[in-house]
Amino acid sequence: MRYSSNSILRNVLFACLLCFSLTACTSTRYPPAGEAENKHNYRVRPGDRVSLDFHGESDLSTNALLVSSKGEIQLKMYDQLLKVEGMTLDEIKVKVESIYQKFLKNPTVVVRIDSTRPRYVTFFGFVVRPGPVELRHELGGITFMSALSLAGDISPRGSKSGIKLLREENGQIETYIIDYDDLVKGNVQDFPLKEGDRIYVSESLY
């Protein structure tokens, strides 16, 4: 796996931020409950692949259309690129059907996601396999506990309390404090991670 210099620098800066935050308040603070990504709320990103299935018009149907780096796709019989980045599948459906009303009577199209571009969260500190963990291509994403499992779980020297999750939200870095035992015992519900999340497991003091 290759990373750009910008990506490496970003991870280094986040690691520094995590280290500096180790002396901060350690009372638990979990990310706000939010709806996991699904086919209804997922917003298309560059690098995703989408398919368009036209009812009764198979010549217009297209499989695995790549969303370009500019967030655009090319439709058949349409001489302009269609901007789809940031749109839900239902919004793309409405847009595509409105375009083809010029050519077809009552066009009906089903839009689906074939695959999403690779997306990652990163573990630092005392886990068995620190580094990036890929968010699964399925729209449900991946939860904190599932991602931790893919990172090999907390190492024998790692602390199960005071786990820090850094997440960028609205241009600001939010820090959440997680307790492993709370999740294992079901005191707190496991939660989905988001692309770019950074998780730091500190060394146990005992």
pLDDT, averaged across the chain: 86
Q: What pLDDT sits at residue 4?
A: 52
- Class for domain 5-38+118-201, per CATH? alpha beta
Domain with CATH 3.10.560.10 in the chain: 5-38+118-201
* Residue 92 three-state SS: helix
Q: What pLDDT sits at residue 23?
A: 42
**∠ CA 36-45-50 to the nearest 5 degrees?**
90
- Per-residue pLDDT tens for 96-154? 999 999 889 999 999 999 988 888 999 999 999 999 999 865 556 789 999 999 999 99
pTM score, two decimals?
0.71
Q: How far apart are CA 73 and CA 82, in angstroms?
A: 5
Q: Rounded to whole angstroms, what are the CA distances from 27 to 40, 123, 164, 176, 180?
A: 35, 20, 11, 9, 13
- Per-residue pLDDT tens for 7-20? 555 555 555 554 44
10 Å CB burial of residue 6 (0-12, 13-18, 19+) is: exposed
Strand order in 163-169's β-sheet?
131-135, 119-125, 198-201, 163-169, 172-178
More confident position, 139 or 66: 66
Local confidence band at 42 (pLDDT 50, 70, 90 cut-offs) = confident
* Residue 201 three-state SS: strand
